[in-house]
Chains A and B, each alone.
Chain A
C-alpha cells in the first residue's frame, strides 16, 4: 500500500473518518484505533512480519522499563546491551545474512567449500524501525527520555504507519511527548496535512517517477549508452532520488499532520549545499543525525584527535552506506562520502595555516552536487562492474560505442526543483524583498508559508480564494493526467 495508490487514500480516509466520528473525548480509544490501523497497514505488505515488529516493540519496551528502574549501572548496561544486540541481530539476520554468506562463499571458493544462501524475505522498513527502537532504549539509558507509560502507547509509536516503512526516523524524544495530544482530524490539521501531502505527491508522481523512466534504462544497461547519455542518467537519478525520498517524507509528514502528530523534517533543499558537510545536514536529516548521535559521537566523534576524527567519520559513513543495503556498492558509496567529509574537515582545519582560498558558494554548490551525483552511481548501479563501466564511460575511457539519447523529461523536471530550491534559499536566508513578493503571490492564491518547529517550512493552504481554487484544481488535474504511469515503489522502501 504505497502512499500514491488509491488503496492508501481509501485507507487513510476511512481512518480519519472513524477518528472524526469518535469525537474529541475518546483520546485513548483513538490511539488504539491508530495502533490497529498501523498494524493493518504493515500487514498489507506482509502480515507474517507483523509478529516480528511487535516482538521488537516488546523487547525494547521491557528493556527500557528495566533500565529506567534499575539503579545498578551494570544492570542498566546489560538491558541496553540486550536491546541493541536483539535489534542488530534481527537486522543482521534479515538484511545481511546472505551478504556475508555470499562473501564467505567468495573466499570459500578457493578452498572448495560452499554455504547455501538462505531464503529470506526482507521485512519492509526493518532498517527504519530497528533504528527507531534502538534510539528509544539508548535515550532512556542516557537519561534523556522518560519511559513510555504503556506498551500500547509504545507500540503505537513504533508502528506509526506514516513513517513505518521509509522514515523519517522519528525518535521517542520527538514523538512520545506528543502522545498526550488530542488526535484526530480538524479543519486546520487537514488543510496543513493535505497541502504537505500534495507537495509530496507532486514530487513523487510528476517528477521522480518521470525521471525513473530516464535513469532506469541507463543504469540497467549502461553498456549501450554514450558518455553524454550516462551523464544525463546520473543527473536524472540525482533528482529522482531526492524527489522520490523527500516526496515520501512529505507525504508521511502530511499524513501524520492530518492525524495530529508532527514528524521531523527530513530534507532541507540538500542540493544547495556548498560543501559535503552541509549536504549531510540537509539530506536525510533524521538518519544523519541518528548516525551522529548514536554512532559517531559514541565512537569518540572529534574529541580524540584529528586522525581518530577522520577514522570515526569514515566508519560512520561506511556503516551508514551498509545500512542502505547489503552490497559492496553501498559500502563504496558510504566510503566516498566518508572520504569527502574527512577531506572537507581537513581543509577546514588547515585552511588558515596553509592559506587555502575560500571557494565561492556557487562553485561549492556545483562541486558538491557533482560529487553527490557521481557518488549515486555505485548507489544505483546493479553491480560493481556496472559502476566501473559507467565511471569509465563518463570519463571518456571506454570504447565509446554507445548510443546517445537526450531525454527530454530531464529538462522540464529540472526547473521546478531548481525554483523550489531557490525560493527555499530566499526564505532560509530571509531575503526580505523576494520573500515579501513571494508571500504576496502566495497570499493571492490563499497560501501561506508555515514554519513548524519540528517539520520545517512548508507552503500550506490557508484560505479559499478564486485564484487559489483555480490553481489547486488545475494542479490536481495536472497530477491526474500527467503523472507518470510507471508507478514504482518508493526507492527507500528497499532499505
Chain B
C-alpha cells in the first residue's frame, strides 16, 4: 500500500515535470517566432548578430533580416562585384523592424542601380552604435571593404551623451583639454558572455534566468532607464536639460574626426525628430550640424526636408502598429523616404 502511494506521488511529480517542460518548449517556439537572432561569438562587423544568419524581430514592427557571410545586412554575399557603399549607423540603420526589401539601404541600392551605380550597399548598423564607434572602426572597414563611399547615420545622442560614455568607444579630451580624441577599439565579449551565447544559440530558453532577472527589474521599476527587452517602441531620447547643453559638446571637432577617418568620402545622414505640430522647425543640433558640414565640405542630408511629405500623407516616419505612433524606429515609409533622399544626394556627390 505504502509502495503504491509512493508510486502515485512519483507519477504525479513526473507528470507535472513533463507538463512544465512541454510548456517551456511551447513558449520557446512562440518566442522564436517573435524574436530570434543568433548571437555572434567573435568580434565581427556586427557585434550582436552572427554571420550567415537570419534575424526575426516582431517586438516593434515586423522584420526578417538576412545577415551575410561578413555579418552585414546586404542583398549580396561577398565577394562584391564592385567597391561597396557602407551604411554605418545605429539601430535605425540596422533596422531589424523592417524586412530586407524595406530597409533604406536595400531601396537605395535599387535606386542607384537605375541611375547606373552598381555598388552594393552594405548595412553595418548595429544597436547602440554612436559616432566614436564609427570612427574607431573606420580603418577596419576601409581595409576590409575598400568602400567607394560611406553613409554615416546620426541622431542627437550619437554626438552628445552616447559619444562620451566610458564603456564603449568614446571621445575624450586630451591633456590640454582642447582637442578631442577617439578612444578606439571594439570591446571584446566577456568570456562568460561567450559561453552564454553558445547556449543561447541552441535555445532561447537558456536565457530564461536572464529574462527572469530583467523582468523582475522592469516590474519593480528599479532600473527605469534601462531599455527593457520587450518594450516595443522604446526610444532613448535626450532629456531637455541634456539637449540644452549642446554647447558643452565639441560637435565641430567630432565631425572633423569622422571626416578624417573616412577620408572625406562620406555623407552624413541626420535622422531628425518628427513633431507633427512643428514638422519643419530644425532642432539646434540639426542647425549646428548642417553649418559644420557645410563649412567642412561634407555632404549632409537631413530627413527634415521630408517632413512636409509626412504631413501631407498624415503619417509619421517613426513607429509601427504594434508599438507607438511616432515613437521608436523608422517604419517602411521612413526608410523609403530616406532612400529617396540619399539616392539624390549620392548621385550628386559620388559623381564628383
Contacts and interface: CB of A to CB of B under 8 A. Distances in A.
A466 interface: yes
Contacts of A469: 15-16, 19-20, 23
Contacts of B30: 478
A30 B25 CA distance: 43
Nearest to B233: A213
B128 to A, nearest CB: 19
B315 A404 contact: yes
B216 A405 contact: no
Contact of A473 (B19, B216, B321, B324): B19
Contacts of B228: 485
Give the dominant DSSP class at A's interface.
Answer: helix
B322 interface: yes
A226 interface: yes
8 contacts: A224-B276, A402-B276, A407-B321, A480-B212, A481-B27, A481-B215, A481-B230, A485-B230
Interface in B225-243: 228-233
A219 to B, nearest CB: 13
Contact of A470 (B12, B19, B219, B321): B19
Interface of A: 4-7, 213, 217, 223-226, 229, 401-409, 464, 466-467, 469-471, 473-474, 477-478, 480-483, 485-487
Contacts of B212: 480
Interface string B66-106: 00000000000000000000000000000000000000000
Q: List the 5 closest A-B pairs by CB distance, nearest first.
A: A473-B23, A405-B325, A469-B19, A470-B19, A408-B321
Interface residues of B, number: 42
A489 B325 CA distance: 22
B71 to A, nearest CB: 28
Nearest to A218: B325
Contact of A487 (B12, B219, B232): B219
Contact of B221 (A226, A406, A487): A487
Contacts of B315: 403-404
B109 to A, nearest CB: 29
Contacts of A5: 219-221
Nearest to A482: B230
B276 A477 contact: no
A6 B219 contact: yes
Interface of B: 12, 15-16, 18-20, 22-24, 26-27, 30-31, 211-212, 215-216, 218-221, 228-233, 276-277, 311, 314-316, 319-327
A466 B220 contact: no
A477 B24 contact: yes
A223 B314 contact: no
B23 A474 contact: yes
A406 B12 CA distance: 47
B16 A403 contact: no
A471 B22 CA distance: 10
Most B C-beta atoms less than 10 A away, residue of A403, A467, A478, A486: A403
Contacts of B231: 485-486
Nearest to B314: A403
A335 B228 CA distance: 42
Contact of B27 (A6, A225, A408, A478): A478
A217 B327 contact: yes
Given A466-B18, A467-B19, A485-B231, 7 more contacts: A5-B219, A213-B232, A224-B277, A405-B321, A408-B320, A470-B23, A480-B215
B203 to A, nearest CB: 14
B319 A405 contact: yes
Contacts of B277: 223-224
A466 B324 CA distance: 39
A224 B232 CA distance: 21
Contacts of B20: 469-470, 473
Contacts of B316: 403, 405
Contacts of B215: 480-481, 483
B15 A480 contact: no
Given A477-B23, A477-B27, A402 B221 contact: no
Nearest to B323: A213
Contacts of B22: 470
B319 to A, nearest CB: 7
Contacts of B15: 466, 469
Nearest to A213: B324
Given A4-B219, A477-B24, A225 B325 contact: yes
Contacts of A401: 311, 314
A408 B219 contact: no
Nearest to A412: B322
A467 B19 CA distance: 7
A223 B325 CA distance: 13
B230 to A, nearest CB: 6
Contacts of B18: 466
A7 B19 contact: no
Contacts of B24: 473, 477
B217 to A, nearest CB: 9
A226 B316 CA distance: 12
B328 to A, nearest CB: 11
B225 to A, nearest CB: 13
Nearest to B211: A481
Contacts of A464: 12, 16
Nearest to A214: B324
A223 B20 CA distance: 48
A481 B324 CA distance: 19
Given A405-B319, A405-B321, A473-B19, A226 B314 contact: yes
A213 B321 CA distance: 11
A88 B319 CA distance: 47
A480 B30 CA distance: 13
B218 A487 contact: yes
A343 to B, nearest CB: 36
Contacts of B320: 408
Contacts of B27: 474, 477-478, 481
B120 to A, nearest CB: 34
Contact of B216 (A6, A226, A229, A466): A6
Contacts of B319: 405
Most A C-beta atoms less than 10 A away, residue of B12, B228, B315, B321: B321
B218 A485 contact: yes
Nearest to B205: A477
A7 B15 CA distance: 32
A466 B19 contact: yes
Given A464-B12, A474-B23, A6 B220 contact: yes
Most A C-beta atoms less than 10 A away, residue of B24, B232, B277: B232
Contacts of B326: 217, 224, 403
Most B C-beta atoms less than 10 A away, residue of A401, A470, A478: A470
